[in-house]
Amino acid sequence: MTKLVLLLMMISLAAGAATFTGVITDTMCGKDHSMMKVAPDSKCVLECVKAGAKYALYDGKDVYVLSDQKAPGKFAAKKVKVTGTLDAKTKTIQVVSIVAAAGK
């Protein structure tokens, strides 16, 4: 019964979800990792998160905090598609899924 409830919750979340494409970054550096002088960018993202920053998505214009703070680690500095719902007030995406996208 519990699995059925969880499945129904995920379906309802996905029904109102949108897809966001961008690069996994962190809230400390955002779109530009040059100030940290840690290369490559993927290492910078991981180091910033270890230091207390949060995983985020940079879509080329804005940086959005991701509710899931585990899955983005394997996509650090890579282009992804995030399915979820955006809270525009807090600029947070409630993540349903993250998958690799074509490109960087």
- Write the CATH number for 83: 2.40.50
Amino acid at 13: L
State residue 82's pLDDT score: 97
As given in the structure block, the two tokens for residue 67 are 């509710």
Tell whether pTM > 0.85: no
36-88: per-residue pLDDT in tens? 888 999 999 999 999 999 999 999 999 999 999 999 999 999 999 999 999 99
Give the structural domain span for 65.
2-100
Number of domains into which the chain is organized: 1
Residues ≥6 apart with Cβ < 8 Å to 67: 84, 92, 93, 94, 95
The radius of gyration of the chain's CA atoms, rounded to the nearest angstrom, is 14
Measured in whole angstroms, the distance separating CA 2 from the mean position of its chain's CA atoms is: 27
